Every structure is written in C-alpha cells, then in structure tokens.
Amino acid sequence: MLPATATLPEVIVLPATATLSMVRVLAVTDSLGTARTLPGAAWVSVNSVNSVKGGIDLGGTKVQAVIVDERHDVVAEAKQPTPTEGGPPEVVARMAATLAEAAAAAGVSTEELDGLGVGSPGAVDGETGMVGEARNLPGWDEPFAMGPALEEAVGTRTRLGNDVQVAVDGEFALGAGRESRSLLGVWWGTGVGGGIILDGKRWVGLGAAGEIGHIVVKQGGARCPCGRRGCMEAYAGRAAMEIRARKLKKKGHHTKLFKIMEKRDRTRLQSGIWARALEAKDGMAIALVDRAVEALGTGVASAVNVLDVETVVIGGGLGTRLGEPYVRRIEAAMLPHLFVSDRPPAVLGAALGDLGGAIGATLLV
C-alpha cells in the first residue's frame, strides 16, 4: 500500500523477479505514459513479488531448470544435457550451471532465489540430501550427498525429492489433479513410476509406496528390469520395450524403430522415436505399444481397485509424448479390470507438460 502522501499511484509495474524488499518510488507514470514526480518519496513494499524459486528436474538425458514466481508461473527456463561421464561432481556442476542459466534469463543470480527444489531419480533422502541407486546417472555407483553439494554450488537452500513424486505433487497442486482429493499418478517413461495422494496428502508408506511399475500383471511373465517376472514395467517400461524390440530385430523381424533412432543420432529408443514409428505405422512399434497399453490398463485398474482414487494422471516421458489418444486408450484398457466399473476414476493426461517435473520440484521449497 502506498502511504497517503502518494496521490497518484496508477499502476506501478515491477518485474516479477524484483529482489528488493522495498523500492523508493520517486515518480510514477500515468496511463498516458507521462512521468510525474510524487510529492515526497513513497516506500512501496514489493515483498509480494520478490519470491522467485528454482526447480530442477534431473533426468538420465537432460537437466531441466525453471524459475517460477510465487504463483508458480514459469518466468524462465533452461535445459542442458546430463553429463555422460565424471560421476556425481560433474552432474552437480551441470545442475548448478543449468540453474544459473535459467536464473540469468530471469534477471537474478542463483543466490537470490528463495530456495531450490530438485526432483532426482533414485532413492532420495529428503532429510540428508543423499541420492543412491540412481542407475540412470553416470558413475552413480554409491550414495552421494547431492543436496549439500548443490546447495554449496548455487548458494540457496536446496531440497530434494524423488523425481516422480515431485512431478505427481505438481500435478496434484497445480495441474490435472488440482480439483481432486485423491490421486494416483502413473509416470510412463523409461520405467513406470507412480505417486499416491490420499485425502490431500502424499502417501509414501514406509518410504517406497507408489511403485506401480512392479504390480504383477502376469504371473511368471516377462523379465522386468528389477529382476522379477511379470511386472507391469516389464511390458510397459520404455527400457523393457527397447530390449524386446532389439531381441525381435535380432530374430529377423522388420522395424523402422532403429533406423529412426540412427537418423536422429540417438543410441536409445527415446519417446520421440516411438512416436515417429507409430506415425509411420511401424508394425513392431504398434504391437509393442499395444502390449504396453494392455499392461498399463491391467496394472492401473488393479491399483484403483485397492485405492479407489478420484483421479488417475498419466504422465512421464512416453505418456506425455504420446498424449491424449493414448490416455484414452489406457482408460479403455482399464475398464474390464475395474471392480466398480460404473464409477470409474477420471483418467487425465498430465497438464504441466515437459516442465512438470521441474515445476513440481519448486513445491519442495
């Protein structure tokens, strides 16, 4: 509020990234753009606009950073590739550099951020900032104190969470689940991760709840990357789908998948490659994605039978890339397995898109 001495405050526009807690207003501009000096100087509190936070989504192939204002709107972003060597110190350095790039685009330094939240793969200890079992990250052979190292590098308080969990939290608070009290997030990507919100609160069980990828959809079925058999992820995870595709190709089956991969200078069948192969009506891609959709329908419906949530949100690299038509197909594949089939949950695609993981991470601080 302006003090009474300021007589003509029309609109004072400050950048969302203003970092001063008080600004001395000596002149204002009226609606015609004419500058007018205020009688006496007015001190205006801009506390309400000085809170900008950072968020990082750390993935196996890219580091995505965002800067959000207090309404969680993204004011700047930056993306850099995840280093392929150098181990944890190199990964932390890249994360700090990506955040600094985003912060610079927002007109602040990383030290001026009101905190940084990070979604990391692997087993994440939010208290100590330790990250272990992050097999997608280079040279991450044993647990590493990512939180303290990153906090040191960026100069602002830093909190860590599991990548899928923070993305699900983001959808619950700001995205597809914001009207719901209970939600099951299904993150369809390299693996199939999940997150559970019950009665408005995140449910982590004893720490590992939400591992929906390892719901068994077929006893004695396909080998899962986790070493067990018949898990949903063994059919629907992108890594498992790629192993299957390579095996079929070796046996002489025809597919465009690997030609598309080489053309795009990739070494892995990333989501975009599956999407292109589907568009090109590649028989193997269609068959493997159909198989994935069936497995997802079976596994997600089984989880819904236990949890009876209002909303299921489908996200993750493949889920987001394939989008709405495949969300509808998963919904249809769930129906035969739903115990209460006349009251199915809403099945929605993740609404925050590619930046959802990084935006969700900002909710940690």
Q: Residue numbers of the site for Zn ion (CB under 5 A)?
A: 214, 224, 226, 228, 231
* CA–CA distance, 330 with 314 (Å, rounded to integer): 9
Q: How far is the CB of 299 from Zn ion (least distance, A)?
A: 11
Residue number, 67 or 240, with CB nearest to Zn ion = 240
Residue number, 14 or 222, with CB nearest to Zn ion = 222
CA distances from 29 to 18, 35, 38, 41 (A): 18, 4, 10, 14
Residue number, 184 or 240, with CB nearest to Zn ion = 240
Q: How far is the CB of 253 from Zn ion (least distance, A)?
A: 25
Residue number, 226 or 365, with CB nearest to Zn ion = 226
Residue number, 33 or 227, with CB nearest to Zn ion = 227
Question: In terms of Cα–Cα distance, which of 122, 118, 125, 121 is closest to 153?
Answer: 118
* CA–CA distance, 278 with 293 (Å, rounded to integer): 14
Q: How far is the CB of 228 from Zn ion (least distance, A)?
A: 5
Query: Beta partners for 185?
Result: 195, 313
Contacts by 147-151 with C-beta closer than 8 Å and gap 24+?
Answer: 147/118, 149/88, 149/89, 149/92, 150/92, 150/95, 150/96, 150/116, 150/118, 151/116
Instruction: Please identify which residue in the block is written with the tokens 């004072």.
Output: 12
Q: How far is the CB of 305 from Zn ion (least distance, A)?
A: 20
Token digits of residue 204: 């982590």
Residue number, 105 or 226, with CB nearest to Zn ion = 226
Apex CA 279: angle with CA 273 and CA 280, to 5°? 90
Q: How far is the CB of 224 from Zn ion (least distance, A)?
A: 3
Q: How far is the CB of 222 from Zn ion (least distance, A)?
A: 10
Residue number, 46 or 226, with CB nearest to Zn ion = 226
Residue number, 240 or 257, with CB nearest to Zn ion = 240
Sign of the dihedral defined by the CA atoms of residues 77, 173, 167, 115, in that order: positive
Element (H, E) at 260: helix 257-263
* CA–CA distance, 115 with 95 (Å, rounded to integer): 14
Query: Beta partners for 186?
Result: 194, 314
DSSP assignment letter at 213: G
Token digits of residue 360: 């969700």
Q: How far is the CB of 231 from Zn ion (least distance, A)?
A: 3
Question: In terms of Cα–Cα distance, which of 71, 68, 122 is closest to 362?
Answer: 68
Sign of the dihedral defined by the CA atoms of residues 353, 357, 358, 363, in that order: positive
Q: How far is the CB of 311 from Zn ion (least distance, A)?
A: 25
Q: How far is the CB of 364 from Zn ion (least distance, A)?
A: 27
CA distances from 131 to 162, 213, 225 (A): 9, 21, 20
Residue number, 88 or 213, with CB nearest to Zn ion = 213
Q: How far is the CB of 326 from Zn ion (least distance, A)?
A: 22
Residue number, 91 or 240, with CB nearest to Zn ion = 240
